[in-house]
Amino acid sequence: LANMGFDGVEFAGDFGPYANDAKGLKRFLDSLGLQASSAHIKFAAFDTEHFEESVTYYKTLETDTLIIPWDERAWDAQEIDSFITDLNTLFSKLKTAGFHFGFHNHDKEFNAHKDSTFWDHIAKSTPQDLILQMDVGWVTIAEKDPVEYINRYPGRTLVTHIKAKLPKGIAAKVATNGKRPIVGDDVTDWDAVLKADISVGGTQWFVIEQEEYPDGLTPLQAVALSKKGLDKAILNL
């Protein structure tokens, strides 16, 4: 990843041999010229029993941005408000400890809820500085416009997942036109997304998340191609 030109990596709970050695992980990243841009976390890692330990780990790693990546309550009409309460509670604790904190979308958060969507309900029921980490790929799957949602909540897209997905409704059609889940080879207007991220969303990090490996590509080969697609879009800014 360092050789591909990445500046950092976002962790998602897997630290390999460094699970209990944040200092060692920081030294390893430093040796590669990489930063820990952000990290996906679980509520359980920041409960009363583990809070101080987890705070110390991420402070040692020198990342100040922590994101809840998944919670099925986020698209459950009966459980959504319980989830929001947990978000707000942890937000307050982590803000006091010096962290930015937020939530990452999938497609179901864009299901209809109370005349809007679950995502809108979460956004409107949380502090203005709680991060709404947009995963552009899942917004595309939900057949929504990522630029519209970045603009709707200014300053809240501090970290964006750059992911190429094909919308469900037209996936079969676009596939025949050479489209594939690689940034730059897909259907997303990445120039518009990046411009909205920077001018409105306050984005500090673009994080490539590659979940599909078309045409027999290995995961790292697919990542390299998406990195080239992202670089091209950045040059158009």
CA dist 232 and 237 (Å) reads 9
Task: Reduce the secondary structure of the chain to three states and give it as a string.
Answer: CCCCCCCEEEECCCCHHHCCCHHHHHHHHHHHCCEEEEEECCHHHHCCCCHHHHHHHHHHHCCCEEEECCCHHHHCCCCHHHHHHHHHHHHHHHHHCCCEEEEECCCHHHCEECCEEHHHHHHHCCCCCCEEEEEHHHHHHCCCCHHHHHHHCCCCCCEEEECCCCCHHHHHHHHCCCCCCCCCCCCCCHHHHHHHHHHHHCCCEEEECCCCCHHHCCHHHHHHHHHHHHHHHHHCC
pLDDT at 173: 58
Q: Pick from 110, 105, 100: which is nearest to 130 by CA?
A: 100
Residue 152 corresponds to which tokens in the numbers above? 């709707």
**Mean pLDDT calculated for residue range 50-59:** 98
Give dist(CA 125, CA 137) in Å, integer. Answer: 24
pLDDT at 174: 52
Q: Convert the pLDDT of each residue in 126-178 to its tens digit.
A: 999 999 999 999 999 999 999 999 999 999 999 999 999 987 765 555 554 77
CA 213 to chain centre: 19
* pLDDT score, position 176: 46
pLDDT at 166: 85
Half-sphere exposure of 102 (CA within 13 A, CB side): 23
pLDDT 10s digits, 90-138: 999 999 999 999 999 999 999 999 999 999 999 999 999 999 999 999 9
Quick check: 223 pLDDT over 50? yes
Structure tokens at 74: 């986020």
What pLDDT is recorded for position 169? 66
CA atoms within 13 A on the CB side of 43: 15
User: Mean pLDDT over all residues of the chain?
Assistant: 95
Cβ atoms 189, 148 nearer than 8 A: no
> Residue 84: is its pLDDT beyond 90?
yes
